Amino acid sequence: MWATVWFALTLAIIYYSYWINKWRNPKCNGSLPPGSMGLPLIGETLQLLIPSYSLDLHPFIKKRIQRYGLIFRSNVAGRPIIISADPEFNRYIINQEGNLVEMWYLDTFSKLFSQDGEIRTNAIGLAHKYARSLFLNHFGSESLKEKLLPEMEKTINRTLCQWSNHAPVEVKHAASLMALNFTAKQAFGYDLSLNISKSFTGFLKGFMSFPLNLPGTAYHKCMEEQKKMMDFLRQELEERLASPNKHYKDVLGQAVDDLKKEKFLTPEFIVKMLFGVLFASFESISAVMTLAFKLLSEHPLVLQELVAENDRILKNRKDRHSTSSLTWDEYKSLTFTHQVINEVLRMGNVAPGLLRRAMKDFEYKGYTIPGGWPIMVVTSARHMNPDVYEDPLVFNPWRWKKLDSYTISCNFTPFGGGIRQCAGAEYSKAFLATFFHVLVTKFTWTNIKGGEIARSPILGFGDGVRIKVCERH
């Protein structure tokens, strides 16, 4: 009996050792980049999710660059992955989409946006082109110039008046609600309820979590909140479909009209596309806005020049007592305001990396990138490169005066790059610039509490940033 037990234990040890060795040394038809695969099943996920209290590169990335170099391998959420902070390799990857690499999402987004049949978010084709064209049609430069800019200013002015009449506000949540409501109004003519905003907050908390869909986990809560929002959007779509004789000029209205013309469109794709539009505005704009409040409060000289530039806009108008809105030419002339926004985007790195997946094995600098492996392009490494940005951890909007357009195009990618560059880039920058124009010309604020950075790895602010807004006299 004891001989049988020892034999079974020996087999178990041999099998376990074999399995561990296989985990640590993945099969590859060539030479993998150096790195560690971490613990079985969970990989190095926990190290990546440990909060960092700095705007510098996340320690997970920084330590491994020091140990392995700019290109290394790891395992996150049970998936082997190549992580790159190499500028040349990153540019190569972005430009090779559709040839060597394809779009890829974490499991949370994959389950949210995946489609049966032909339409998939990681496929380059009709769906992607259509969604991009639809967004640019309603949120691009022409729409901003013709109608959105004055509507933004009205919404922002009304929101800041509300902030000034209340107790201190928590910036991230209040800004999220403002951006979400404005985008929803343009997308399907609806003022969102507070409950939907809370659902987006709950979704965001779990979207970077370990994909373990069990009751009580952050991922499970994330999926529950996602279901609430998708049901809400399906209801909006169903109401439109039930009124075929009514024609709306918003995003949903155009999508419903196109449903009859474009064979690849489905009601479910429209719902998921709407969610993507809302989620993008909810998170990115509010995170940048919150960080800007923190940095401007800490750098009074920057705030002083920002106020002076925007005050000049009002003084240069023919009728100084006019209540006219910010024009497109005035918006484009806000040079320093745009430099401030660029600097906040550079330091904030709201999305610390872009995700792609190798479509087949390929070689780069002696390394083999296996087909099927995800690749994380670490954009934050480029934004914190001291060879490009002197003293990269210093908030210095004036640095953008010295940077030429070529250097900026190669080293500043807050909205992604290649054919997947965010269609909402101009919309986001216009919303931020308009917000700060209204803020500094009509209001003042004082910091009440918070401001601690807590990146994990998405930009966060610990207990939040609370401010008291007052009308400027």
Q: How far is CA 403 from the centre of its chain?
A: 25
What lies within 8 Å, CB to CB, of 89 at 6+ separation is 70, 71, 364, 365
Question: pTM for this structure?
Answer: 0.88
CA distance 273 to 406: 33
Alpha-carbon distances, residue 354 vs 82, 94, 377, 408, 436 (angstroms): 12, 9, 5, 18, 28
pLDDT (tens digit, 0 to 9) for every residue of the chain, 473 residues total? 666 656 556 555 654 554 455 556 677 788 999 998 888 778 888 888 888 888 998 899 999 999 999 999 999 877 899 999 998 899 899 888 888 998 776 655 555 545 444 344 444 457 778 888 889 999 999 999 999 999 999 999 999 999 999 889 999 889 988 998 899 889 888 766 555 667 777 777 666 666 677 788 877 887 888 888 889 899 989 999 988 788 888 999 999 999 888 877 889 889 988 888 888 777 788 889 999 999 999 999 999 999 999 999 999 887 655 567 899 999 999 999 999 999 999 999 877 788 899 999 999 989 999 999 999 999 888 899 999 999 999 999 999 999 999 888 888 888 876 666 777 889 999 999 999 999 999 999 998 777 788 887 778 888 888 999 999 87
- Mean pLDDT (the chain) is 84
Most distant CA atoms of the chain, gap in Å: 100
Provide the 3-class DSSP secondary structure of residue 356.
Answer: strand
282 token code pair = 């909810």
CB 224 within 8 A of CB 88: no
CA distance 227 to 209: 17
470 labeled binding residue = no
